[in-house]
Amino acid sequence: DTEVTQTPKHLVMGMTNKKSLKCEQHMGHRAMYWYKQKAKKPPELMFVYSYEKLSINESVPSRFSPECPNSSLLNLHLHALQPEDSALYLCASSQGPGGPREPQHFGDGTRLSIL
């Protein structure tokens, strides 16, 4: 069982819809991440939160809006997505202040389909 929990597991939405992806961890980790993964490709980093502050935005389009309400929760708000945004969205967490020295632990992802 993963210690990083993501909901929903699957999401189908239209291009005009607004939805949110949720991620929760209770390991006391202080860094949390959003990744996007297309089939047969490695995960691509989208955002990094360190101590609840956004520290990295990998030039992600504004139709993706991250939010970190507290140290255990990470949201990704979606609005006006495009079909090419269909992918597996992975949340991860790591112990430290967002540095890459320690491994990241992944949730089992939200499989997103845009109609």
Partner 1 sequence: RKEVEQDPGPFNVPEGATVAFNCTYSNSASQSFFWYRQDCRKEPKLLMSVYSSGNEDGRFTAQLNRASQYISLLIRDSKLSDSATYLCVVDGGATNKLIFGTGTLLAVQP
* 80 near partner 1, rule: CB under 8 A: no
Considering the complex, what minimum distance in angstroms separates the CB of residue 86 from partner 1? 14
Cβ count within 10 A of residue 27 = 12
Cross-strand partners of 87: 112
* 66 near partner 1, rule: CB under 8 A: no
* The two structure tokens encoding residue 23: 């991620």
DSSP structural state of residue 83 = G
Q: Tokens 């929903």: give the residue.
A: 8
Q: How many residues bind partner 1 (CB under 8 A)?
A: 23
Interface residue list for partner 1 (CB under 8 A): 2, 41-43, 45, 48, 55-56, 88, 90, 98-109, 111
